[in-house]
């Protein structure tokens, strides 16, 4: 069988090959999902399109006051190694650090994690809670930018489809008195995927200590990573109390839609969400207060 391999130098060229009439091609970044599926013969393609030579894909920057701009093919290991990223985006680094192993994270990219579109993708809740946006090309038009929560269409399906390309992710600079925290539950400490995960980001109003902005994101408990809107609403504008945070956990558990599978029942996942949301809120608030 003839198998092609391309290394295009522009996004347009890559999209042209992916859309081309010459067969079914697959974008390739770190390969930690694609190559494993190919080797297991779970999928069959006519070739691979390595996207890492496209300008900007492997670059990232975190200038003061500018937020964090991450090219889609930046490996997690680079972000994890930055003290600047850890200081300003602790939840994102917490999420990155649980992904696979250090060796895996030196290959695996943020774009591959999002485009693989697993409901359990660990970077997704952290990006949702941080109000991140995704920039992508799909078809002939220019790039589009959307909130990351709109990027996921269903399990294994993202807005870029089979022929589009994610170019990068932008994470806004956190306001002052903002804290964030990501936690996931897995039966094993490492090399496992989440049975449930949660990420909370809270901004407190200086002076009153009320919750000015709250974002709660959940992973592995719905067809796509999701925001827990009702839990967020219950907290907005109020001073945090243990009862209120526990109530938010219960609301989040009620609004997710987990499945029963071999790794955990739906009711077990809901119980996990209740606990993880409360705990991530507690830590996010403590961090917002400078703890």
Ligand X SMILES: Cc1cc2nc3c(=O)[nH]c(=O)nc-3n(C[C@H](O)[C@H](O)[C@H](O)COP(=O)(O)OP(=O)(O)OC[C@H]3O[C@@H](n4cnc5c(N)ncnc54)[C@H](O)[C@@H]3O)c2cc1C
Task: Summarize as ranges the residues that interact with ligand X (CB under 6 A).
Answer: 26-34, 36, 51, 72-73, 98-100, 104, 107-109, 111-113, 115-116, 121-122, 160, 165-166, 191, 193
By beta-carbon proximity to ligand X, the closer residue of 111 and 174 is: 111
CB of 6 to ligand X, least distance (A): 13
Task: Characterize 115-146 residue by residue with b for buried, 16 or more Cβ atoms within 10 angstroms of its Cβ, and e for exposed.
Answer: bbbbbbbbbbbbbbbbbbbbbbbbeeeeeeee
Q: Do the Cβ atoms of 271 and 258 come closer than 8 Å?
A: no
For 184-192, which contacts have Cβ atoms below 8 Å and span 24 or more sequence positions?
184/95, 184/98, 184/122, 184/219, 184/220, 184/276, 185/272, 185/276, 186/98, 187/263, 190/98, 190/100, 190/101, 191/100, 191/101
Minimal distance in Å, beta carbon 10 to ligand X? 13
Closest approach of ligand X to the CB of residue 251, in Å: 25
Residue nearest ligand X, Cβ-based:
112
- As measured in angstroms, the least distance from the Cβ of 137 to ligand X is 9
Q: How far is the CB of 219 from ligand X (least distance, A)?
A: 8
Q: Closer to ligand X at the Cβ: 25 or 178? A: 25
Which residue lies nearer to ligand X by CB, 161 or 209? Answer: 161
Query: For 130, phi and psi rounded to 5 degrees?
Result: -90, 5
Closer to ligand X at the Cβ: 122 or 149?
122
Nearer to ligand X, 17 or 166 (CB): 166
Tell me if 52 sits within 8 A of 147, measured CB to CB.
no
Q: How far apart are CA 22 and CA 19, in angstroms?
A: 9
């Amino acid at each position: 069988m003839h198998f092609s391999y391309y290394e295009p130098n522009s996004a347009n060229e890559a999209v042209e090959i992916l859309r081309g009439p010459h067969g079914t091609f697959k974008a390739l970044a770190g390969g930690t999902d694609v190559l494993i599926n190919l080797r297991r013969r779970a999928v069959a393609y006519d070739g691979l399109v390595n996207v890492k030579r496209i300008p900007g894909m492997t670059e990232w920057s975190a200038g003061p006051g500018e937020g964090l701009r991450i090219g889609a093919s930046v490996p997690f290991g680079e972000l994890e190694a930055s003290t600047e990223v850890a200081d300003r985006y602790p939840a994102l680094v917490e999420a990155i650090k649980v992904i696979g192993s250090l060796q895996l994270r030196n290959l695996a990219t943020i774009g591959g994690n999002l485009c693989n579109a697993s409901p359990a993708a660990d970077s997704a809740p952290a990006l949702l809670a941080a109000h991140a946006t995704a920039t992508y090309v799909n078809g002939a038009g220019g790039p589009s930018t959307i909130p990351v929560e709109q990027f996921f269409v269903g399990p294994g399906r993202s807005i870029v489809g089979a022929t589009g390309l994610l170019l990068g992710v932008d994470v806004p600079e956190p306001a002052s008195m903002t804290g964030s925290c990501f936690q996931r539950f897995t039966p094993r400490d490492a090399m496992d995927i989440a049975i449930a995960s949660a990420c909370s980001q809270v901004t407190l109003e200086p002076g009153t200590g009320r919750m000015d902005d709250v974002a709660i994101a959940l992973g592995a408990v719905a067809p796509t990573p999701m925001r827990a809107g009702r839990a967020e609403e219950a907290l907005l504008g109020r001073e945090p109390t243990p009862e209120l945070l526990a109530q938010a956990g219960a609301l989040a558990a009620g609004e997710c839609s987990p499945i029963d599978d071999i790794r955990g029942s739906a009711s077990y996942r809901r119980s996990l969400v209740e606990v993880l949301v409360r705990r991530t809120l507690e830590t996010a608030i403590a961090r917002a207060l400078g703890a």
